[in-house]
Structure 1
Amino acid sequence: MISYITCKRKYFLAALAALTALVASRSVFAIDLALIKLIQSAPLEVFDRLSLFFTILGSGEVTGVITAALAAWLYLKNHKKAAFYLLLFFGLSVAVELSMKFSVEQPKVFAQFRRGLKIPVPIYSPFTPYAYPSGHATRSVILSIVFFYMAQLKINSEKIKARAKTFIVSVCALMLISRVYEGSHWPMDVIGGICLGSYLAALIIERFQKDNF
């Protein structure tokens, strides 16, 4: 999986560019409507709670702390370049996400699709006029790919390695679905975040490998 992502990173960038053009032209809005209705068709209390958890977990504050802690660990392990590029590309993801949310005219999710779930802790959310792409999706994909790579590299037991990878992929998938389920984003916002996050994660992994990590 990791080798595929790093080798095919240009495809993720091309997919992001193509999807952005489609979203900006409103060519896929009917698909957004159909998918959000499908995902929200069977509301469950347990998933309401999970959605709140993932909203907090994928926030800029929490993912920022996780990224900073990981960078500090890499630095202490003498992988200073890896630490630097992790912080650089994570920061770049935020800058690109926000710039696109001011320029790609994708309306925010309509009120009737918002589940109105109340987050129990304060989370900073900068004002942006548009919704595309999802920052939660972008950050979650970046960290999931990085942790997947680390599990593949650092865990010796094949059984534990497989479980760790399954856990990472499952958490990421639930995070992505929850953004649409709770009405925070359209499906195309999430897919755009996946493309952006995958491309930047591939660049991070490439720098990790050059730093012998």
Structure 2
Amino acid sequence: MKKKKGRTVLKKKNWRPYAYYGALVVFLLFFTWGFFEVVDALQENEVAAFDTKIIHEVQSWVNEGRTARMVFITDLASVKFLTVATGLIALFLIIRRWYGWALFFLLVNGIGGAFNGFLKEQFKRQRPDILPLIEQGGYSFPSGHSMGSFIFYGALSFMLFRLLKGKWKKVVAAVLAGSMILLVGLTRIYLGVHYPSDVIAGFSIGAAWLFFWIMLFHFSEYRVNRRLSRR
């Protein structure tokens, strides 16, 4: 409330932050629900027909040149690549003295990888044996590449969206990240190392994990700013 030329003017409340944080909560709940829906369908053996149909369709595209490209794309979400990329990006952020962003990026990816390993041990689903084009060890559900790509490229997109100046730069970053996530999921089915339900579950729990950490980041940011304003 403020006074202007002898009359009181009510300052209009900005509802945009509330809408934004509300959307984060909705996305977190939606993707968490989506993951458990896939889990229920898996436990009730309701995904076999769906998985088989999608695998046969995607693997009908197989040819030598396309397979080489698919292997290249899937390697951009491998544990080795994501570990090195996360470390280099965090180092760059530290050099720029963006310590909060560096910590966020390390934690969301590092703990996320461990979380995927935990989930795989809980479900112990064996990998498909329909025309595997590469060798892949470990359990199948949820897809680590799909979950890892959503966390890594999603977190990178969120970070660039906050740090970059210019609307189109932000849009391009988001579109490239989204395209990369979808392509990685497709490669896992094409290469015969995951069921489609593994990929959907990986995307769902990866998204839920990412939105949880984004909310945690904003909460930490708020606490730090509030502490600084009191000094």
Q: TM-score, normalised by structure 2?
A: 0.76
Structure-2 residue corresponding to 1:157 = 166
User: Which string of whole-angstrom CA distances, capped at 9 and with x for unpartnered residues, describes residues 132-190 of structure 1?
Assistant: 01100111001121122123222223333333322222222111101101111100111
Mapped to 1, the partners of 2:131 and 2:220 lie a distance apart of 45
Q: Is the 8 A contact 1:20 1:104 kept in 2?
A: no
Query: What 5-or-longer segments of structure 1 have no aligned partner?
Result: 119-124
Mapped to 1, the partners of 2:52 and 2:202 lie a distance apart of 18
Query: What 5-or-longer segments of structure 2 have no aligned partner?
Result: 1-19, 223-231
State the Cα distance separating 1:200 from its structure 2 match.
1.2
Structure-2 residue corresponding to 1:102 = 121
Q: Is the 8 A contact 1:6 1:205 kept in 2?
A: no
Structure-2 residue corresponding to 1:61 = 80
Report 1 or 2 for greater relative contact order, CA contacts < 8 Å, sequence distance ≥ 6.
Answer: 1
Counterpart of 1:132 (choices 133, 137, 141) is: 141
State the Cα distance separating 1:98 from its structure 2 match.
1.8
User: How do 1:1-213 and structure 2 match up within 5 A?
Assistant: 4-5=23-24, 7-110=26-129, 112-114=130-132, 116-117=133-134, 127-128=137-138, 130-212=139-221
Q: What is the letter of the counterpart of residue 150 of structure 2?
A: V
Q: Of the two, which has the highest radius of gyration? A: 2
State the Cα distance separating 1:65 from its structure 2 match.
1.6
Structure-1 residue corresponding to 2:10 = none
Instruction: Let me know the Cα RMSD of the aligned residues.
Output: 2.5
Q: Is the 8 A contact 2:101 2:159 kept in 1?
A: no
Q: What is the letter of the counterpart of residue 68 of structure 2?
A: R
State the Cα distance separating 1:106 from its structure 2 match.
2.8
Q: Mean alpha-carbon deviation: is it higher for 51-60 or for 79-88? A: 79-88
State the Cα distance separating 1:76 from its structure 2 match.
4.2
Q: 1:85 to 1:24 in 2, by over 3 A?
A: farther
